[in-house]
Amino acid sequence: MTVSSIGLEDLFDAAFLEEVQRLRVIARRVAHGGRFAEQRSKDLGHGLEFRDFRPYAPGDDLRGVDWNIYQRLHRVFLRQFEELEDLPLYLLPDVSASMYLEETPRALAGLRTTLALAAISLGQHDTVGVFPFHTQLDFAVRPTSGKDRTMFLAQALADLEPGGRTDLAAAIRTLRATKLRQGLVAIVSDFFDPNGLEPIFEELASLRHSLLFVQLVRKTDREPDVRGDLRLVDCETDTVENVSVTPAVLESYRAAYDRFDTQLTELAESRGAGLVRVDVDRPIVEQLATLFEGGAYRP
């Protein structure tokens, strides 16, 4: 098995970026403590959009008093406005060795998807961090912001090297320990983890971020084009099995794949996560667009 390399020219071109810029990520509410940007914060302050009134309390800024209400009711109320802040986006592309093995590696679609989501967020003044994972979580790009950082991120993605086997639970555990500001975590992977999905369920239970799963798929994942007597090597564990591929074996395999797919869907639903399946052999942006209602994704 050979590992394919991915260069900067493979990741994007001008047309790709133009497509991406038509999409936006809009958070229902972002956690406090960020920079001024385009997302609605949980904080109420001196923003532009009116939200509510509340009674005056000693020490409040008198500039927020609504004097019209005072003249009518002889009671002092403050106007409250929604603060607009950035939504931190934490991207976790799968760079395990198995992602680079096919003739057209699914890592290519994974990194293009990662770049697309990063470009969308950078274009609306959000912060973006990139944390590729395999047996461990790496810190490729600490949270950064600015439209001019797209090329920087593209180069950082192109510089990534294939890692070891997949261990998403360990990656999530490391991410949780970093104490990053609450935001949106986007996991871009085929989710073929030799440990199964159960450990991922457990680790996600205490992750405080919103979640987006991008599952990278191929038609042959469920319908493998193999027949006859084969010697199969597990690309994650190097385990070797001699298999006679009969119609009954294929049917059993499809049933196992369907159980895996159902379990991943249930995992997403249990966490209120977005889930989009991206066919790695089709254009990326038009598939990501299924996430966006009226041009915007709302985690």
Give me the domains of the chain, ranges plus CATH numbers.
8-25+87-218+275-289 (3.40.50.410), 36-85 (no CATH)
Statement: residue 20 has pLDDT above 90: no
**Using an 8 Å Cβ cutoff, are 276 and 213 in contact?**
yes
Strand pairing category for 184-189 and 89-93: parallel
Residues 6+ apart with CB under 8 A from 72: none
Q: SS3 breakdown of the chain: % helix, strand, coil, rounded to 5? A: 35, 25, 35
What pLDDT does 27 receive? 37
For residue 67, give both structure tokens: 């004097």
What pLDDT does 115 receive? 92
Statement: residue 221 has pLDDT above 90: yes
The reported pTM is 0.77
Q: What confidence tens digit (pLDDT) does each residue in 119-166 have?
A: 888 888 889 999 999 999 999 999 998 888 888 998 999 999 999 999
- Round to whole Å and give the CA distance between 238 and 164: 11
- What phi and psi values does residue 254 have, to the nearest 5 degrees? -60, -40
What pLDDT does 274 receive? 87
The mean predicted confidence, pLDDT, of the chain is 82
Q: What confidence tens digit (pLDDT) does each residue in 160-208 have?
A: 999 999 999 999 999 999 989 889 999 999 999 999 999 998 899 889 8
What pLDDT does 35 receive? 40
What pLDDT does 1 receive? 46
- Round to whole Å and give the CA distance between 221 and 285: 21
**Using an 8 Å Cβ cutoff, are 129 and 178 in contact?**
no
**Using an 8 Å Cβ cutoff, are 195 and 133 in contact?**
no
- Round to whole Å and give the CA distance between 218 and 192: 12
Type of residue at 287:
Q
Q: Of residues 92 and 84, which shows the higher confidence score? A: 92
Spell 227-254 as b/e; 16+ CB within 10 A means b: eeeeeeeebbeeeeeeeeeeeeeeeebe
| SS3 (DSSP) at 91 | strand
What pLDDT does 286 receive? 83
